[in-house]
């Protein structure tokens, strides 16, 4: 069962590049398109980035049973917030 769709607005191309770099560093998965899936272990996430509207949407599509949904949703929100903060500081 898919978890709640998370939408992040005002997500600049620099933030998206930082997001892609973090995914690569954390999982080894290369994000080379604006939409796709990241599969790592027992997790599958779907992402969709619109560079014109500057909106990133992320949804966990598959997770281990023993990890609560809130842990995953909150963790993703925290990760993206860190990316946004670090990219704004670097600008």
CATH hierarchy code of domain 6-90: 3.30.310
Q: Which helix (H) or strand (E) segment is 72 a member of? A: helix 69-90
Write out the E strands in the chain. Answer: 6-9, 35-40, 43-50, 55-62
pLDDT digits (tens, 9 = 90+) for 26-51: 889 999 999 999 999 999 999 999 99
pLDDT digits (tens, 9 = 90+) for 67-78: 999 999 999 999
pTM: 0.90
Bridge partners for 37 per DSSP: 46
Q: How many CA atoms lie within 13 A of 12 on its CB side?
A: 11
């Amino acid at each position: 069962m898919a978890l709640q769709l998370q939408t992040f607005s005002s997500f600049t191309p620099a933030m998206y590049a930082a997001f892609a770099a973090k995914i690569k560093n954390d999982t080894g998965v290369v994000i080379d398109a604006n939409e796709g899936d990241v599969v790592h272990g027992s997790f599958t996430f779907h992402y969709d980035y619109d560079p014109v509207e500057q909106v990133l949407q992320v949804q966990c599509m598959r997770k281990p049973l023993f990890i609560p949904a809130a842990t995953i949703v909150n963790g993703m929100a925290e990760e993206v917030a860190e990316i946004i903060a670090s990219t704004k500081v670097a600008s």
